[in-house]
Chain A
Amino acid sequence: MSGSEHPDHLWRNPDPKRSYDVVIVGGGGHGLSTAYYLARNHGITNVAVLERGWLAGGNMARNTTVIRSNYLWDESAAIYEHSMKLWETLAEDLDYDILFSQRGVLNLTHSLHDTREAHRRVYANRLNGIDAEWLTPEEIKEFCPIVNLSPDLRYPVMGASLQRRGGIAKHDYVAWAFARQADAFGVDLVQNCEVTGFDLDGGRVTGVQTSRGPIAAGKVALCAAGHSTVLAAMVGLDLPIQSHPLQALVSELLEPALNCVVLSNAVHVYVSQAHKGELVMGAGIDPFISYAQRGSPHIIEYQLAAAVELFPIFSRAHVVRTWGGIVDVSPDASPIVGLTPIENLFVNCGWGTGGFKATPASGWVYAHTIARGEPHPLNAPFSLDRFARGALIDEHGAAAVAH
């Protein structure tokens, strides 16, 4: 059966043309969904997605696929909930089984402080039209029986918030689904094509230099996640982004044991069991800046300690593979999507540890911003100039949940 769940044709492998209306730099999830929505929502199809490696081989291929929209602040809630709505019909829209599964996302709390903040988020979510529930330990036992609810835990579980509509999807399939439809609209997906410079005319960008030659562009849209500052620096643009390793791991295939997604921010665990049966788990970020796609082992060790504490049944499962991505962390843990001081140059980055779930909405609003030359209402608050004003959307704060 392997392979047969996929279509026989995904994409052409065209050589780049000399010029496009829009060039998207970065063929990750966000770049691909942007290309798709540019074509579908705005009729702009003379578009190239330039990818330095293989399509969706960056963070898109490395994330732990947690999808939820229960963010604290109104601005975040609005954009992530828009994403959730898109997820709910995405398989049909893209005609691809992306294995989207709304199995529920539990956020455990381990202190009075955690609990207070989780309640705060639950109440805020409800007013924002986002499904949110509070579960007592007894209700957790019911919902996810393998969580260790012993009061003898060093940080006993005090409760959990639950978003039932949250869940997971298969990251590669999502990327390929967007890629396939964008390709069908005529978008050129160009791989092994690294952008190495920009052509400027006055204060306006007119094209890019690439490892496969120069390409003229009416508009250039950056979508390079961890490499955003490297590209921005080529045009003298400073972005408040730091690139960190974020590691994850999988176990061997196991019989079903975990029926939902469990996050525990206090002890840095987030885990789900993928469709085939492997446990998929993410760690906290490594503190230092890196482009190596590798982190340090003590981060994994700590994370597994927390996992085994919370799920004693995992003790003898095995780590089969660990890996790292390069996450683009912004000062307020919120994305930057919008215009730049350089005409015709657009930026989309800063999704950090949590941008997979935003893949559809990010493309939706970014395509709008590129097509119209002004932000969509949903990404207007996420402008680059918010930092100078101090209008941060601080998802780092006390109620923070990564991923």
Chain B
Amino acid sequence: MTRLASGGRIDRSRPLRFTFDALPHTGFAGDTLASALLANGVRVVSQSVTYGRLRGIFSAGVEEPNALVQVGGGTGSEPMLRATQVELYDGLVAESLNARGRLSPEPDVARYDKLFAHCDVLVVGGGSTGLAAALAAGKAGARVILADEQAEVGGTFLGGRDLIDGRPATDWLAEVATDLAALPEVRVLSRATAVGYYDQNCVLIAQRRTAHLGPAAPAAMARQRLWQVRAKQVVLATGAHERPMVFAENDRPGIMLAGAVRTYVNRYGVVPGHRAVIFTNNDSAYACAIDLDDAGLDVPAVVDVRPNPAGGWPDRVRERGIEVLAGQVVSDTAGGNRGLESVWAGQRIDCDLLCVSGGFNPAVHLFIQSQGRLRYDEILACFVPDEAPQAVAVAGAANGTFGLRDCIQEGLAAGAAAASAVGFGDGHPAGAPQVETVAEHPIVPFWLVPDESGATQFVDLERDVTVADVRRAVGAGMQSVEHVKRYTTIGTGSDQGKTAGINSAAIVGALLGQPVAAIGTTTFRPPYVPVSFALFAGRTRGQLFDPARVTPIHPWHVAHGAVFENVGQWKRPWYFPHDGETMEQAVLRECRAVREGVAAMDVSTLGKIDIQGTDALRFLNRIYTNAYDTLAVGHCRYGLMCKADGMVFDDGVVMHVGPDRYLATTTSGGAAAVLDWMEEWLQTEWPDFRVRLTSVSDQWATVAVAGPRSREVLRALAPAMAADAVSFPFMAIREGMVAGIPARVCRISFSGELAFEINVASWYGLRLWEAVMAAGEPFGITPYGTEAMHVLRAEKGYAIIGQDTDGTVTPQDLGMSWVVSKKKDFIGRRSHRRADTARPDRMHLVGLLPVEPEDLLPEGAQLILEPRQEPPVAIVGHVTSSYRSAALGRTFALALVKGGRDRMASQVYAPLPDRLHPATVTEPIFYDKEGLVRDG
């Protein structure tokens, strides 16, 4: 048993059962999976990714490179978690991994959410520094968020044995926590890791909310939460990561970071071995020796690379009879399948635990993400924060300040300064508590124990990279750490090289004869720790991925069995099949109804823009290719618009509804883009125009009633409205009551048949539709969907923007010169004169009649002139729309064909996998060329 009888912050009264690799174990509340494994004597936790070497728990925190586990049970299985960060719960099931995780096929039913928060001061890290900073800022009155990654605040000093004001530091901690809780403007987030630092002090914080509860997690609670915090000031108190030592066979289970060992002993009451050697280049590891000695372990030696370590810490250790091997290194180790058995430090020393410390790297990851710069500090032998462009301060160990007293002081000062920078307090912190300090003997940077081969000197444990690999990379000509990283894969693991990065830079430097300062670090990228895909996705899932828009008439469509099509964000009825009908049969029936009787369609999805003001006419004349000067009130006109490059962008109908007032419709998918486009020109190019634009797409519901008998339906609905061809001519607008609802009726047709579009306030939409269906019943009124609409318009040769065009098509290409004014400037006009745009042999919209009347060409089929198939074949165009027509009793298509208008009556071929399909080029109009049926 390696659990101490007392001590630590675990609750021995709450044992928790768990399994690791199917073997049952027991830990206590307050344990991490790592501390519980160590307490159960589990030394080997993984095999390395490349060499299959045995590995044990190496650290006690986020930097863990070895103890990567798959955690499953209850709520689904999650890959590649660090055992050092998994809180133990009863029933936890974990498996070891060799650096590669498994995706569980079970659906993840958990909820992940997001929260946007704002504060004056964000403090990242709840160790001594961060707590002090939060306290100082909070007391000054600032709105503070303190985020800490662990289950409880306290950070590293939960694993130490410092005294503050003569009492255990944890007493001070409890007081500070109470003080913070009493400040109403301070919010403390635990299990909350700041993972990304973006522009203008935007910090993303990933918070784990239920995983530590295991199966007891409430289902309704979000498993994790992503906080987007926007802070006026940020204080980074993110601590430091201990550096490993690089020597031969330095990867055995039982070789651990010295600071981590202290944490296991003091915080979790676990001793990860029986006989421990310390290997260090600095004083911090001496405290480890003392802790282990107090815990009753044999500590035969501290191996210190410094020639004459002296003063407070070394003396205390020597006083206990622990030998200090000064100026020595551990150059090799031996062991078996339970890990370490002895080390070689000029002599063989038997031990099953080797605690290493190569100094500390400030955790500057977030600082670098904030675009801060680093500088190398020769005295501290590490990279420390330097300049920062954003409003950020770094304090404590993250800033290279390692003593507890100094950390608290720096934290208080940083918190007070941050608060005062945003108007709270005078910037002077309250006095710091008394902390006993011991004069330190300076660190001596030490990067690498000399070794011929370097083949077992591991630099990156997760990626299994050795000094030999680094040597090869440098030998191949690589001089940049970024190249070495890519050549060797150092630092590309899921730990992003937290323990490997600086050592590798120093080793590259050593090999090139340059100081580590000249080599620099690789860039740390978000996220600071791995973040699940699901958390980034948040609630943007399922139907919330992109909420669907539906019209007021939608419930009727659903009730009547419509099959829907996604058009932009809209759900539109595609067709309304009767029982037993195929899509083709339904569409032919719906088309026939329009051509022979009467049919109704919900066209509420069309974009609608209300355009008002004394310059409205001028505005329209610039936006649309055609002119509106002659459009009288009470009439409407088809309009087309181009982008500045002259290519067709959208179309619709412009209604002149009153003096200086128009209503423009747009395509259903294009509404937002068209409004944006209009506003952009209005506000940025023509700010002097007196025009106001308002989107009214959702305010109006519109029902199109089409077919030779549509007038009869309108008469039934609106007896007071004169509907004959003379009183209500084509492209006229009438206002009046329809089915007892105030309505605006337009005589517009997209099918070529007599048709009326009835517009009412959207809350009357369903009532209007039901009234239309009732009034139309005697005439056999048929609801129709987008597919029939597409067929009908194609029979008339009306292009659908986005289907028959693709952003490379001009109005002239569509044969629509009639809608392009010669007299005025409009957006895109100048582009039509460019050499390539004015070419006579551009792609023209034409009709196609397959030679065999039953031959339905697939949309998208390419067209060629010669009846041969072997590639490469010169392509002359493609089919844009293709249908079976009830009215024509055959198939037909629209196509864009090179020089198409000069190819009338000639033959083209669609080469399809089965064979060539010949078709004849025609005018793009197939039905009622003379426009005889328009008036009914």
Report which A residues bind B (CB closer than 8 A): 1-4, 6-13, 53-55, 57, 61, 74, 110-113, 116-124, 126-129, 152, 154-155, 172, 191, 251-255, 257, 276-277, 292, 294, 296-297, 300-302, 304-309, 312-323, 331, 386, 388-392, 394, 396-399
Contacts and interface: CB of A to CB of B under 8 A. Distances in A.
A29 to B, nearest CB: 14
Residue of A8, A11, A154 with highest tally of chain B CB at under 10 A: A154
Contact of A301 (B478, B486, B536): B536
Contacts of A1: 50-51
Interface residues of B, number: 94
A172 B486 contact: yes
A313 B103 contact: yes
B476 A6 contact: yes
A255 B464 CA distance: 18
Contacts of A392: 645, 808, 836
A316 B808 contact: no
A317 B346 CA distance: 46
B79 A3 contact: no
Given A3-B465, A3-B473, A318-B530, A120 B540 contact: no
Given A297-B198, A392-B808, A312 B469 contact: no
Nearest to A292: B371
Interface in B894-936: 911-912
B472 A316 contact: no
The 3 residue pairs across chains A and B that have the minimum distance between CB atoms: A119-B860, A120-B860, A318-B530
Residue of B103, B475, B480, B836 with highest tally of chain A CB at under 10 A: B103
29 contacts: A2-B463, A2-B488, A3-B469, A8-B476, A9-B476, A54-B479, A61-B482, A61-B486, A117-B860, A119-B859, A123-B860, A126-B871, A127-B864, A127-B873, A172-B486, A172-B487, A252-B530, A255-B100, A277-B100, A296-B198, A305-B545, A306-B545, A313-B103, A318-B530, A319-B527, A390-B835, A394-B807, A394-B808, A396-B807
A321 B531 contact: no
Contacts of B228: 297
B525 interface: yes
A61 B487 CA distance: 12
Contacts of A257: 103
Interface string B748-765: 000000000000000000
Nearest to B100: A253
Given A304-B533, A390-B835, A8 B806 contact: no
Contact of A154 (B78, B525, B543, B807): B543
Nearest to A127: B873
B683 interface: no
B537 interface: yes
Given A2-B488, A297-B204, A313-B104, A308 B860 contact: no
Contact of B79 (A129, A318, A323): A318
B214 interface: no
Given A123-B860, A127-B911, A397-B806, A314 B103 contact: yes
Given A120-B878, A252-B494, A315 B534 contact: yes
Given A118-B860, A316-B104, A54 B532 contact: no
B565 A318 contact: no
Contacts, number: 262
A184 to B, nearest CB: 12
B834 A390 contact: yes
A3 B474 CA distance: 11
Contacts of B196: 297, 322
A319 to B, nearest CB: 5
Interface string B877-888: 010000000000
Given A2-B469, A129-B871, A318 B806 contact: no
Interface in B469-504: 469, 472-473, 475-480, 482-483, 486-489, 492-494, 496
Given A7-B476, A116-B803, A301 B537 contact: yes
A124 B533 CA distance: 36
Interface of B: 49-51, 76-80, 99-105, 107-108, 196, 198-199, 202, 204, 226, 228, 371, 463-465, 469, 472-473, 475-480, 482-483, 486-489, 492-494, 496, 525-527, 530-534, 536-538, 540-543, 545-546, 548, 565-567, 645-646, 802-803, 805-808, 831, 834-837, 858-862, 864, 871-873, 875, 878, 911-912
A126 B861 CA distance: 11
Given A154-B546, A300-B536, A322-B525, A254 B862 contact: no
Given A3-B473, A120-B860, A322 B526 contact: yes
A162 B489 CA distance: 32
Contacts of A276: 489
Nearest to B862: A123
A54 B538 contact: no
Residue of B101, B104, B477, B531 with highest tally of chain A CB at under 10 A: B477
Contacts of B494: 252-253, 318, 320
Nearest to B482: A54
B530 A320 contact: yes
Contacts of B102: 254-255
A316 B108 contact: yes
Contacts of B99: 253
A321 B50 CA distance: 21
B836 A391 contact: yes
B875 A313 contact: no
B531 A318 contact: yes
B537 to A, nearest CB: 4
A122 B496 contact: no
A294 B566 CA distance: 34
A318 B862 contact: no
A305 B532 CA distance: 11
B117 to A, nearest CB: 15
Contacts of A12: 477
Contacts of B202: 297
Given A118-B860, A319-B536, A3 B472 contact: yes
Contacts of A128: 871-872, 875
Contacts of A312: 107-108
Contacts of A321: 492, 496, 525-527
A257 B108 CA distance: 16
Given A119-B861, A396-B807, 9 more contacts: A2-B463, A3-B487, A128-B872, A172-B487, A252-B530, A305-B538, A321-B525, A321-B527, A388-B834
Nearest to A74: B875
